[in-house]
């Protein structure tokens, strides 16, 4: 599922020259992360989330390959790719409250 979503979403990113490496890693407070070297890390618990939430986390991390911060420019990029990301993130945050991810966020 994660490989399929990364492939599908990365296809839309004209600035992405190749698919980034990715792996699953259990995280207590995050759904995903992007290392400074460009590796996407995804929490395996994310598989229980609806696809739109998975897409949000994957896009969130893919955007970090272009903007490795949470600046206004980063959020403009995310909003261009997923205009409705805020309610999706809120839904994911509510899921985090019910899981081991107390206060879980995408990054």
Q: What is the pTM of this model?
A: 0.90
Look up residue 97 and give its two tokens.
Answer: 């409250």
Q: Cα-flanking dihedrals φ and ψ of residue 42, to 5°?
A: -125, 140
Between the alpha carbon of residue 66 and those of residues 4, 63, 91, 100, the distances in Å are 21, 5, 25, 30
Q: What is the pLDDT of residues 48-101, one digit of tens each?
A: 999 999 999 999 999 999 999 999 999 999 999 999 999 999 999 988 776 656
Res 3 pLDDT > 70: yes
- The span from the CA of 86 to the CA of 39, in Å, is 24
Res 103 pLDDT > 60: no
Q: What is the CATH number of domain 2-98?
A: 3.30.2010.10
Domain boundaries of the chain, sorted by first residue: 2-98
Residue 96: what pLDDT?
A: 78
Residue 98: what pLDDT?
A: 61
pLDDT band of 104, cuts 50, 70, 90: very low
Least trusted range by pLDDT, from 40-44, 52-56, 84-88, 103-107: 103-107
Q: What is the pLDDT of residues 14-29, one digit of tens each?
A: 989 999 999 999 998 8
3-state secondary structure of 57: helix
3-state secondary structure of 100: coil
- The span from the CA of 100 to the CA of 106, in Å, is 14
């Amino acid at each position: 599922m994660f490989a399929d979503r990364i492939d599908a979403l990365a296809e839309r990113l004209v600035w992405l020259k190749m698919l980034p490496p990715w792996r699953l890693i259990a995280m207590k407070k995050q759904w995903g992360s992007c290392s400074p070297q460009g590796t996407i890390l995804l929490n395996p618990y994310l598989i229980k989330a609806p696809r739109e939430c998975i897409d949000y986390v994957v896009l969130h991390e893919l955007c970090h390959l272009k903007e490795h911060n949470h600046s206004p420019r980063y959020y403009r990029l995310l909003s261009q790719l997923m205009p409705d990301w805020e309610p999706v993130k809120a839904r994911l945050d509510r899921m985090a409250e019910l899981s081991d991810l107390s206060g879980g966020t995408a990054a």
